[in-house]
Structure 1
Amino acid sequence: MEIFFEELQPFNINRDIIESVINKIILNELKEGGSISVIFCHDDYLLDINKQYLNHNYFTDIITFDYTENEIIGGDLFISVDRLKENAKKYDTEFIIELYRVVFHGILHLLGYNDKTNDEKVIMKEKENHYLKEVDFSLF
């Protein structure tokens, strides 16, 4: 797994913990992990990607590009740090918890979960919450 910071200052993130939990999610879902990149960026950068590749003209917290082949999970997760900060305030949670929630959301997309319908959104949220419980946030 690789972590990149696109057009912003790197911030402290425990790569080992996040990689360990991602691998655990993939194994729990009975899949094999491949190449996964997490790219942290600003709103404007992600908005450009949203317009260019998805024809959407709005801010979002994450865009996932799925490169899974032959059941080996892979892809790029582009995550807006600006959205993470705003969501953390909006949902009255800590930034680091929101960061992990959004990373898990992207991984769940790579694993085949969707969030288009209300039923899919419920399943996705349940999975996110389940895996958030696997992280010991007292280590941060």
Structure 2
Amino acid sequence: MISFNYETDFKLENTDKVSNWISETILEENHKEGEINYIFCSDDYLHKLNVDFLDHDTLTDIISFDYSVGKELHGDIYISVDRVKENAKDFNIEFEDEIARVIIHGVLHYCGYKDKSDVDEILMRSKEDHHLARRS
């Protein structure tokens, strides 16, 4: 089950459609959907999590806590709406496209994709692009 939670004024539109898209992505990546919580928040909220839990004193657009068991995906995905807005502006793309990229990025991490090395990042971007192209 995919749920959307808010620690900010932002509200995701078309949550059923987004949820179905995430579910289809999980199946296509040969995983099983468990409990996945998306939490949309502010820079300050996510920064505090980054400092408190990861000991990183930086701003970020997403932090995911993975509680998956084998191929069954479970976890909490925190997304800073402030960061996504700023990144969309910096990359000169629509906010809706950037929020979708970050949403699918989180679940792709649960599917085992990494982005710390150049090679891993190229594969992650390729997977993001593939699944973004499938979204209707």
TM-score (norm 2): 0.96
CA distance in 1, matches of 2:42, 2:109: 21
Q: Which residue of 2 aligns with 1:111?
A: 111
Runs of at least 4 residues of structure 1 off by over 3 A? none
1:11 paired residue number: 11
Q: Counterpart of 1:85 in structure 2: which amino acid?
A: K
CA distance in 2, matches of 1:2, 1:12: 11
Supply the distance in 1 between the matched residues of 2:12 and 2:59 (Cα, whole angstroms): 24
Distance 1:96 1:23 in 2: 19
The RMSD of aligned alpha carbons is 0.9
Q: Distance in 2 between matches of 1:20 and 1:12?
A: 14
2:135 is matched with which residue? 135
* Corresponding position: 1:75 with 2:75: yes
Residue 70 of structure 1: CA displacement? Answer: 3.4
* Structure 1 match to 2:26: 26
Query: How far did 1:11 drift?
Result: 2.2
Q: Unaligned stretches of 5+ in structure 1? A: none
* SS at structure 2 position matched to 1:133: helix
Shift of 1:14: 1.1
Offset from partner CA, 1:49-103 (integer Å, 9 cap, x none)? 0001110000000000001013211111000000110011111111111011001
Query: SS at the partner of 2:34?
Result: strand
Count of residues in Structure 1 that have an aligned counterpart in Structure 2: 135
